[in-house]
Amino acid sequence: MRIPFNRPLCLGTEADAVGEVLTSGQLAEGKAIEACEDWFSKHTGALRALLVPSCTHALELAALLADIGPGDEVIMPSYTFPSTANAFVLRGATPVFVDIRSDTCNLDESLIEAAITPRTRAIVPVHYAGVSCDMDAIMALADKYGLLVIEDAAQGMMASWHGRPLGSIGHFGAYSFHATKNYTSGGEGGVLLVNDVRFVERAEIMREKGTNRSAFMRGQVDRYSWQEIGSSYVISEVQAACLGAQLQQAKHVNDVRRGLWNRYAEVFTDLERAGMFCLPKVPEGCHHNGHIFYLLMPSLAAREALIASLAERGVSALSHYQPLHSSPAGRRRGRFHGEDRHTSSISEGVVRLPIYYSLEEDRQALVIRALKAAASS
């Protein structure tokens, strides 16, 4: 019996929702998209929620709206997925990588100010594993220097910072509905949360190929026309229907994932005390969503040995990001500000364990036994 690292969420209600769309004759810009966007606006407080084909597209749209261009700099962590940087590199900007915290793997808020230059336009906090960055400190810096904050909350849906949903605190927020995330719109998908009134109308226009088609669909104009630059950032009704079925049980899914996460944390505490590894930390004020449960091993060799040992016992565990600043594109396109005290060492030590909605208790028990056996071997 092999336990996979991930299984995409499937509640059993998605097929009926998709079937209704397929038979309705409305495959684009219909009620399914509208219902999902209304759900996100209601549950996050965003002024506007726009479904898009992926979180990558959401970040790219945010970069467009922020008028990021050649010569601009954007501060972000290096320990993240390439899309975080690509969205701004595509606009000609330079990612400025700052070290991460050792407890959360998130952007170290105490190092941001020193990285700000006259060219800095935005800060992009990445909420790793659904645990929030210190958004109070980041927003205070943004206000002080007149910067935009674009939350990469790809992993952050249903998580919060002092009661505020991740993605709703900065000027923009982006969620992912990829098959590896807690919720999925059929394998890919995302949403851009627009939290600043200055950008709401332009966001609709840029999402719709630079046209005011959305206003036309609402009957606000008698014809639509090309207004400014944009692209095709619209999701299909089929994808929205799949996601909508899952949103109806969003809290239940979140509760299940948090339960799995908490069980791991409880049973591995003794191994952490014995110095085998470090467990993820959740600072006060953070409400996580159980997206990733990881162990931090003391070295690359220890990480590889643990992953191999778990594989021999039928458990699929994975490492995670290669730091962007040490990757080929990162060396060409960006720069690291300050000292790399934690980014590279954490990258070499992270081991992610299986965690997903359909992971039954007895299967999780097998993972736990395998990890304990591997750690003691």
Q: If you write DSSP's letter for every residue of 250-313 in order, what string do you get?
A: HHHHHHHHHHHHHHHHHHTHHHHHTTS-B-----TTEE-----EEEE-SSHHHHHHHHHHHHHT
The Cα 152–Cα 56 span in angstroms is: 10
Same domain, 239 and 255: no
Among 192, 219, 247, the domain boundary falls at 247
Go through 110-145 and write b for each residue having 16 or more CB atoms within 10 A of its CB, e for each that does not: ebbeebbeeebbbbbbbbbbbbbbbbeebbebbeee
Same domain, 168 and 298: no
Same domain, 57 and 158: yes
The Cα 338–Cα 336 span in angstroms is: 6
Burial of 100 (C-beta count, 10 Å sphere; 0-12/13-18/19+)? buried
Same domain, 343 and 329: yes
Same domain, 197 and 273: no
Averaged pLDDT for residues 108-126: 98
The Cα 28–Cα 32 span in angstroms is: 9
- Output the pTM of the full model: 0.97
**Vertex 297, ends 292 and 301: CA angle to 5°?**
125
Same domain, 240 and 265: no
Same domain, 132 and 143: yes
Go through 190-212 and write b for each residue having 16 or more CB atoms within 10 A of its CB, e for each that does not: bbbbbbbeebeebbbbbbbbbbb
The Cα 66–Cα 61 span in angstroms is: 9
Residue 34 is assigned to a structural domain of this protein: yes
The Cα 229–Cα 287 span in angstroms is: 38
Among 216, 247, 278, the domain boundary falls at 247
Among 228, 247, 266, the domain boundary falls at 247
Residue 5 is assigned to a structural domain of this protein: no
The enclosing domain of 314 has a CATH number of 3.90.1150.10
Q: Which of 107, 61, 179 is nearest to 337 (CA)?
A: 107
Domains held by the chain: number: 2
Which residues are registered as beta bridge partners of 377?
none
**Vertex 228, ends 225 and 234: CA angle to 5°?**
75
Burial of 341 (C-beta count, 10 Å sphere; 0-12/13-18/19+)? middle
Same domain, 282 and 328: yes
Same domain, 147 and 286: no
Residue 218 has what pLDDT? Answer: 86
Phi and psi, residue 6, nearest 5°: -145, 150
Q: What percent of the chain has pLDDT over 70?
A: 100
Residue 104 is assigned to a structural domain of this protein: yes
Residue 324 has what pLDDT? Answer: 98
Residue 286 is assigned to a structural domain of this protein: yes
**Vertex 352, ends 349 and 355: CA angle to 5°?**
165
The Cα 122–Cα 145 span in angstroms is: 10
The Cα 207–Cα 174 span in angstroms is: 14
User: Roughly how many angstroms between the first and final C-alpha of the chain, as a whole number?
Assistant: 21
Averaged pLDDT for residues 269-281: 96
pLDDT digits (tens, 9 = 90+) for 323-349: 999 999 999 999 999 999 999 999 999
Please determine, for residue 266, whether its predicted confidence score (pLDDT) is greater than 90.
Answer: yes
The whole domain housing 145 covers 14-247
Residue 182 has what pLDDT? Answer: 98
The enclosing domain of 114 has a CATH number of 3.40.640.10
Residue 182 is assigned to a structural domain of this protein: yes
Please determine, for residue 28, whether its predicted confidence score (pLDDT) is greater than 90.
Answer: no
The per-residue pLDDT of the chain, averaged, comes to 97
Same domain, 186 and 59: yes
Residue 329 is assigned to a structural domain of this protein: yes
Please determine, for residue 30, whether its predicted confidence score (pLDDT) is greater than 90.
Answer: no
Cβ contacts of 314 within 8 Å, gap of 6 or more: 1, 2, 3, 366, 370
Please determine, for residue 128, whether its predicted confidence score (pLDDT) is greater than 80.
Answer: yes
The Cα 191–Cα 168 span in angstroms is: 12
